Structure 1
Amino acid sequence: MEKDKAFAQKKWVLPYKNIVAIADGHGLVDIVEQSNCWGGACWAEYHYKQASPLIQSVCSYGNTMRYRVKEGHSELNLIASYAAAGIESAIVKDNTVEITYAGLGGGGVGATMSRAQAEDVIEYDITEAGGSKKSRGTIVLPRRSRVLIGVDDTDTKEEGATWSLIHNIATDLDSRNARYISHALVQLFPVPQKTQNCVSTVVEFACIDPAPLIKDFEQLLRKYTLSENTGMVVLQRFHADEVKEYATLAKSKMVTYEIAETAAKKAGVEIVIPGRGIIGALASLPYFAQPCQSVKLDLNNQ
């Protein structure tokens, strides 16, 4: 089950850039596939939804496709042109997640050789693929947890932009241990203290060991921030639902530091840098991987 680089030399194989698996420990797994061919990823999205009972939801983000699946195994009824490929199983172990894909024809190539070449695949087991064959492939990935980092108030009226600084820090820290998988700008209610647009930022990582990432992120943020009011918060959880009510409030009206501090404690959010920016940083968390929604201002609750 060693990786065979010779696969990449076959012109009908287009390797995925990377695939990560985030397990919630309660029966759900987010499979985040980073594709080198967006057309192929969109084909897979359509067919996988038709063929795979395990899939709970699918969404696209940048050049990635996210599948939320139930743990377990389900036989696929593959139908050419309609449901030609899918996710057959997701098995979560102590340190790994095993995902089995199956497909017909070109869908079988994607289910086997294309995904087996993704960067963080530990090992794989695949059948022959292509032509009219039904093919199956299992890849083994590191088991990861979700880490959300919210930041606000890093710039001044003269210089800087929080969203770009945070993206650059996250990009610099991307590694096999901590994969940087999403970034969103979160529009907040425009308060008098704002620099210009009153926007905070959330970045999402899929981690094997979160501790080094959080430490390094804090160090870089303290080094490069231009503001004395910077706030950084961290949530290590599959969902951020506990912060949604607070986030809606911060998008619709002015929120005090005390309210933010109380909300963070109640939701189990770690305040890493306790500046005034935690007001917006905390509000950014539930908008991870929702960049088209997060930029909208909600004034319904004024």
Structure 2
Amino acid sequence: MLALEDPYAVVYRQIHAVASSDGEEVEILERSSCFGGGAWSLHHYSKGPLVVEARSVGEWFRYRVRAGRSDLALASSRRSAGIEAVAVRGDEVEITYAGLGGGGVGATVSRSRAGDVLRSSVSESGGGKVGRGTIVLPRRERIAVGVDDTDSKTEGATWSLVHNIAAKVDRPEARYVSHALVQLFPVPTKTQNCVSTVVEFAALPGKADPMLAEFRDLLERYTVSEETGMAVYRGFDPSPLMEYSQLCRTERIAYDLAIETAARTGTEVVIAGRGLIGALAAIPFCGRPLASVRPGE
């Protein structure tokens, strides 16, 4: 006879916390096992006082929040669940969720059992009760890897190669969390569609270098271009590269500007072919694949 091990728990596959350097802001990334449940949470959680931005990116639900504690003022059907508290404590991030009824189940068991959770404490939930759950996650940093020009007129596709490499090097110390194709200005040297690619990792501080070395090795092995570019940005907010990116999306720019921009923004040049121009332009669109595919204006 078929049986359900836990009929009321839909456990998130992964949850990560990417913190700013000062610990004042955190982006919570939840990899859902049920999109419908994640969408319900997104609707209610986005109304919480601590939430600055909430959005879905495929199977990932992302909440940019301020550190602190708030009164959610839970109300059935209007604000049934939310993020009640966020605290950055050294190399850990503590998140408390609360919810009414089924929202309390999501706030407790569904998140406490997710991958990469270090430890948790939960109250009873379900029915008419208010459920609360606190999870503790390793503090992570954002690593954005921009790549361009890996193909030729006859073979290859940068976006697919970069995705496959990112999936291959994914590990607990550096989780692969997003992929975006970035539409660039159609320069004469383009292969076909003139897009670059950025992939994003949520990494434990100081633990990303082995992953990045493997990423570079695989990229150099499988690229079919002599002009491949690869750049790496480490930081909570890659927006310092957005002005350059928008320029690259609206006109043809010189290679020297890419080198100058990398130095000014602290972006590491890993492979310095002509594709570096587009690789840098991709980085500020990490985690925003719906915006990045639109032509620049």
SS at match of 2:78: coil
- Answering whether residue 233 of structure 2 is matched by residue 232 of structure 1, we say no
Q: Which residue of 2 aligns with 1:44?
A: 41
Structure 1 residues 93-135: Cα deviation after superposition (integer angstroms, max 9, x where no partner): 2211111001110000000000011111111100111111111
**Count of paired positions:** 291
Q: Which residue of 2 aligns with 1:158?
A: 154
Q: Which residue of 2 aligns with 1:247?
A: 245
Q: Which residue of 2 aligns with 1:122?
A: 118
Shift of 1:220: 1.1
**In structure 1, what residue type is equivalent to 2:74?**
L
| Runs of 4+ off more than 2 Å | none
Shift of 1:9: 2.0
In the alignment, the residues of structure 2 paired with residue 129 and residue 10 of structure 1 have an alpha-carbon distance, to the nearest angstrom, of 14
TM-align CA RMSD: 1.0
SS at match of 2:177: strand
Shift of 1:155: 0.7
Identity %: 51
In the alignment, the residues of structure 2 paired with residue 120 and residue 65 of structure 1 have an alpha-carbon distance, to the nearest angstrom, of 16
Structure 1 residues 228-287: Cα deviation after superposition (integer angstroms, max 9, x where no partner): 110000000111111111111111111111111111111111000111110000000111
The 5-angstrom pairing of residues 1-302 of structure 1 reads: 9-26=5-22, 27-50=24-47, 52-208=48-204, 209-298=207-296, 300=297
**In structure 2, what residue type is equivalent to 1:255?**
I
What is the TM-score normalised by the length of structure 1? 0.94
SS at match of 2:161: helix
SS at match of 1:9: coil
Structure 1 residues 53-74: Cα deviation after superposition (integer angstroms, max 9, x where no partner): 1111101100111101101111
In the alignment, the residues of structure 2 paired with residue 74 and residue 193 of structure 1 have an alpha-carbon distance, to the nearest angstrom, of 53
In the alignment, the residues of structure 2 paired with residue 89 and residue 253 of structure 1 have an alpha-carbon distance, to the nearest angstrom, of 45
In the alignment, the residues of structure 2 paired with residue 86 and residue 296 of structure 1 have an alpha-carbon distance, to the nearest angstrom, of 32
Shift of 1:293: 1.2
**In structure 1, what residue type is equivalent to 2:166?**
A
Unaligned runs of 5+ in 1: 1-7
**In structure 1, what residue type is equivalent to 2:163?**
H
SS at match of 2:225: coil
In the alignment, the residues of structure 1 paired with residue 239 and residue 109 of structure 2 have an alpha-carbon distance, to the nearest angstrom, of 37
Segment drifting more, 212-221 vs 269-278? 212-221
Unaligned runs of 5+ in 2: none
Shift of 1:25: 2.3
SS at match of 1:214: helix
What is the TM-score normalised by the length of structure 2? 0.96
